[in-house]
Amino acid sequence: LESFDISGNPIGDEGAADLMELGLRNCRTLQHLYLHGTEMTDTSCLLLSDYLVTTTCVRVLWLDSNQFGDRGFSRLVPGLQHCSRLDVLHLGSTGVTVTCLASLQAVLPHLHTLQELYLNGNDLAFDVVPGKRAVDAVVAGVAMIDTLVLPESCRNWLSAELQDLHRLNPAKLRAIKFV
């Protein structure tokens, strides 16, 4: 099994527990995992993290539209640190705040192949200086990222440093998108 998609199915924590225990626990070759809109909570994130620790094959991880917030993201961190082949990470509309960016910054050195990072649809409080610095730090921590997707509200404050990085070093950051 290389790809698994249950997006849009409201499985919640109970379904996530069943999925991890009965379905994915022994699947070590999974490359694409789509869990968009499955009603994951911070409890589900802990289960997913346990799975991610046991496999290094995941290349695409879609977690959009699950309201697990900063607590859920912090529970994902140990698993994400084992995703050295992760190319795409979707965290759009997950209820994370600028607090999660510090955790994300700690994870990024482990994500050697990350090309796309989606943070759109979250209230990241980018209108405050810590939010600006956190995004700059996140991008600086990536060896090379093709696309960074941010909430539309970020367009006006995007720091000069990040704009310069995009303009002067497209090999580091090829595209910034706002949605």
Whether the Cβ atoms of residue 66 and residue 39 lie closer than 8 Å to each other: yes
SS (H, E, C) 38-84: CCCCHHHHHHHHHHHHCCCCCCEEECCCCCCHHHHHHHHHHHHCCCC
- Phi-psi category of residue 9: left, alpha or beta, with phi > 0 → left and psi -120 to 50 → alpha: beta
- The 10s digit of each residue's pLDDT in 78-121 is 999 999 899 999 999 999 887 887 788 788 888 888 888 888 88
Angle between helices 98-107 and 129-140 (to 10 degrees): 20
Q: How far apart are the first and last CA of the chain?
A: 32
**pLDDT at position 78, please?**
95
Whether the Cβ atoms of residue 93 and residue 73 lie closer than 8 Å to each other: no
pLDDT at 18 over 80: yes
Angle between helices 42-53 and 69-80 (to 10 degrees): 0
In this prediction the pTM is: 0.81
**pLDDT at position 157, please?**
58
Of 33, 37, 40, nearest to 15 by C-alpha is: 40
Q: In what order do the strands lie in the sheet with 116-118?
A: 3-5, 32-34, 60-62, 88-90, 116-118, 145-150, 173-178
- The 10s digit of each residue's pLDDT in 113-143 is 888 888 888 876 654 555 555 666 565 555 5
- Where is average pLDDT lowest: 68-72, 97-101, 147-151? 147-151
How is residue 69 written in tokens? 């917030």
- Where is average pLDDT lowest: 7-11, 63-67, 144-148, 166-170? 166-170
Whether the Cβ atoms of residue 63 and residue 37 lie closer than 8 Å to each other: no
pLDDT at 62 over 60: yes
In terms of DSSP bridges, do strands 3-5 and 145-150 run parallel, antiparallel, or are they unpaired? unpaired
How is residue 29 written in tokens? 């070759």
